[in-house]
Structure 1
Amino acid sequence: MKTILYKSESRGHADHGWLNSYHTFSFANYYDPARMNFGVLRVLNDDHVAAGMGFGRHPHDNMEIISIPLFGDLEHQDSMGNKTVIKEGDVQSMSAGTGIFHSEKNKNNDKAVKFLQIWILPKKRNIPPTYDQITMKLEDRLNKFQQIVSPNPEDDGVSINQDAWFNITTLEAGKSLTYKLHDPEKNGVYAFVLEGDVNINGTALERRDGLGISESDTLEVQAESDTQLLLMEVPMSIQ
């Protein structure tokens, strides 16, 4: 088993006033050659957007972009004709493929919006762009894993153009879970603690800590306090 631990305070940080963002991996003006990715997981940004503010229209191509709101309402518009609002419990994915333009804005003028912005390198390049969005039941993640991303459109969660699976759980103090990898020969798991304190395969983690694990068939998760945890199983080889 191989592990890499990124403590919360070690992340890159950018405060633009309207945007307060923490970067697990190199992004924009934050650059660390030792922190470029975990397998095909390229970007994990913990974004806080001020009331009424947001990201203007901008392009992407050949990237899988996943947004997971944690608080507030995020308004999305894109060149595929989608105009939606996502909130806690929703998951959004875009396969940028040959190219898209989109914007993201805090819909509310009286409170911030907090969300995870995640980029995954695609399995196939230059595919037609696609969009997916789903609302998950928060109670279905209590003391169990709730799948929110997969490569298969018929499975639970949104689908993306990569052999990756995301699961989220709200785990009560003292509870434990075992996560079994879909493809332990090729994949690793990056665990990101949204809230609480948890022990994973013998490593103690706190709020916003991240732990990458590869060359292991399973993850043993033990909640030391009430915990919210995101697991991202991704291929370790970049094609």
Structure 2
Amino acid sequence: MIKIMTAAERHTTHEDGIHSEFSFSFGDYTDPHNEHFGSLLAHNEYVLQPMEGFDRRFHHDLVIVHLVLEGTLTYEDDTGKLMELTPGTIHVVNTGSGVYHAERNASSSEDVRYLEMWFLPAEPGLETSHHQSNFTKEQQLNQMLPIIGSGNGESSLPQSLDVVMYSSILETGQELTYSLAGDRRMHLYVIRGHVEISSEDGVFDITAGDAARIQRRHELTFRGNSSEGSSEMVLIDMP
């Protein structure tokens, strides 16, 4: 089954220099029919205006992923971490038993645009830990680059989480294929451009800000269809 959620269907807020787009129930936005998709609890897109951001707040037993699309995001928390996150950087924090963290735009002239995703951890009460890795546009071009995942290696999460996240820049006319197992789900989000999804369920056209929620076994084909020459997307394979 493939369900498309368009950009227009996301819950939108704009206050105190922060523009927010929520794909699932989050904060004051409550929809009992749209609370999560598998282990993905939140998929938020934020734009922080210059010198704006989120003050320290407390979270526990969540794995939080930051993926910066434009600008520089400053992340800090009470473990002593202070990071400047830029496009091409993926940051993962397993909040574990609890951490106070904040995200801000320290620039006086440029906006920051980023994705923040929340996942259920493998188990509760783990020690707070961080993971950060970098990738290039060349590595994403016309392939599905795993930017975080379970198992071993440079892209592994600090504690086992049964999630693999891919990033791809797909040139117009280029195709990628993917076999989704019967007990898995995929959340696909288009950052920019236009992507065509083909499977036994049919053909679906999605554009920037749209998401596809895919579950049960599928042989998937993704085709770049942007008039601007390329499309960018994030794909999450999870239980």
Give, in whole Å, the separation in 2 of the partners of 1:83 and 1:168: 25
1:89 is aligned to: 88
Q: CA contact under 8 A between 1:144 and 1:170: conserved in structure 2?
A: yes
1:63 is aligned to: 62
1:188 is aligned to: 185
Q: CA contact under 8 A between 2:143 and 2:170: conserved in structure 1?
A: yes
Q: Gaps spanning 5+ residues in structure 2: where?
A: none
1:221 is aligned to: 222
CA deviations over 1:153-196 (Å, ceiling 9, x no partner): 41436555420000010001010001234xx1321101001011
Give, in whole Å, the separation in 1 of the partners of 2:145 and 2:159: 17
CA deviations over 1:62-119 (Å, ceiling 9, x no partner): 0010000000001111122111100000000000111111111112111110000000
Please show how residues 14-53 of structure 1 align to structure 2 within 5 Å. Answer: 14-53=13-52
CA deviations over 1:23-61 (Å, ceiling 9, x no partner): 000111111111111111110001000101111111110
- Seen in structure 2, the aligned counterparts of structure 1 residues 159 and 221 have a Cα distance that, compared at 3 Å, is farther
Q: Gaps spanning 5+ residues in structure 1: where?
A: none
- How high is the sequence identity, in percent, across the aligned residues? 24
Please show how residues 106-125 of structure 1 align to structure 2 within 5 Å. Answer: 106-125=105-124
Give, in whole Å, the separation in 1 of the partners of 2:213 and 2:158: 22
Q: Which amino acid aligns with 2:53?
A: G
Give how far 1:152 is off: 2.4
Number of residue pairs the alignment of both structures matches: 232
Give, in whole Å, the separation in 1 of the partners of 2:196 and 2:159: 29
CA RMSD of aligned residues (A): 1.3
Q: Which amino acid aligns with 2:191?
A: L
1:6 aligns with 2:10: no
1:199 is aligned to: 196
Q: CA contact under 8 A between 1:150 and 1:159: conserved in structure 2?
A: no
1:176 is aligned to: 175
Give, in whole Å, the separation in 2 of the partners of 1:116 and 1:200: 22
What TM-score, normalized by structure 1, do the two folds share?
0.93
Q: Which amino acid aligns with 2:186?
A: V
